[in-house]
Amino acid sequence: MKSTAVMAAMLLAGCSSMTSEPVQVDGQWTIGRLQGEAVRLGSGDNQAELTIAQGKMQAYFGCNRINGQWPEAGQSFGPQMSTRMGCQQPVAGYEQRYNQAMAKATGYQVQHGRLQILNNDQVILEAYKPTSLDSFRQANGNWTLVSLQGMADIVSMNDEKAPELSIDITEGKAGGDSGCNRFFGKLTAAGDALWLDSAGMTMMACPEPMSKQEQLLMSAFSQADHTTVDDDKLQWWQGDSLLVEYQKQQ
């Protein structure tokens, strides 16, 4: 049976600050991506937070608290005000990028269980309500890559072995290979998407078409907006387009 996390959130797709009936967004969110890149605050379990309550918003990356007004229907985001502590990297960099992003914010939507702040049609910040990886328990195990958008055929440096992906839901980790380099990373249940943020990769020079396949695979993991899993298929999607499909190993 196909399962997705927080399926009801799909009903909220397309709602934004420009609607007459704004989506309920109050509460604490985890900022997962900023300007298209994963937010990593370093070692430990520290997470970037976005809290929305009573028409106000506050972002916190572990140093300064950045405050602003949350827009009502038809309104735009106002200026952000911050405390003035001196912050170390990478926190200082994230705070700067957040302020730059919010200066361009024009609206928001809740889609696939995630809060997205927009610059016109571009997602500049993506946040999710902290949830358990248990909703993706079926993804646990070893998988073989069988389909990748943009590649007519799956290729590998090892002609006898297709690229693989190993998922450990209990540990929240994943690792695999692209057909050339090996990668590993952290898993996050972000709404109804299983995010795989690569924390490391070997650095072999890959010949074509392995190099193209590697770029497409890493890009697909970051571009997918929802993930589905059944007994033997693990798929990452962007809208109605299937980006990546893995087959369960027997």
- pLDDT for the residue numbered 78: 86
Return the pLDDT at 16: 41
Pairing of strands 173-177, 27-34: unpaired
Do residues 20 and 73 touch, judged by C-beta distance below 8 A? yes
For the record, the structure tokens of 3 come out as 């399962």
The closest of 17, 41, 198 to 117, measured between CA atoms, is 17
Distance CA 248, CA 50 (A): 36
The number of residues in the chain equals 250
H helical segments located in 15-153 = 91-102
List, as own/partner pairs, every contact residues 41-44 make where C-beta atoms lie below 8 angstroms and the sequence separation is at least 24, other chains included. 41/90, 41/91, 41/94, 42/90
115 and 126 in contact (C-beta within 8 Å)?
Answer: yes
pLDDT in tens, 78-108: 899 999 999 999 999 999 999 999 999 999 9
* Binned average pLDDT, 10 residues per bin, the chain of 250 residues: 36 38 82 90 81 96 96 83 94 96 94 93 93 93 97 92 96 96 93 85 95 94 91 93 96
Contact criterion met (CB below 8 Å) for 134 and 112: no
Rounded to whole angstroms, the Cα distance separating 53 from 169 reads 32
- How far is the CA of 190 from the CAs of 58, 194, 202, in angstroms? 20, 6, 26
Q: Can you list the domains of the chain with their CATH numbers?
A: 7-128 (2.40.128.270), 133-248 (2.40.128.270)
In this prediction, residue 10 carries a pLDDT of 30
Work out the angle at residue 8's Cα, subtended by the Cα atoms of residues 188 and 57, and round it to the nearest 5 degrees.
Answer: 65
pLDDT given for residue 159 in this prediction: 82
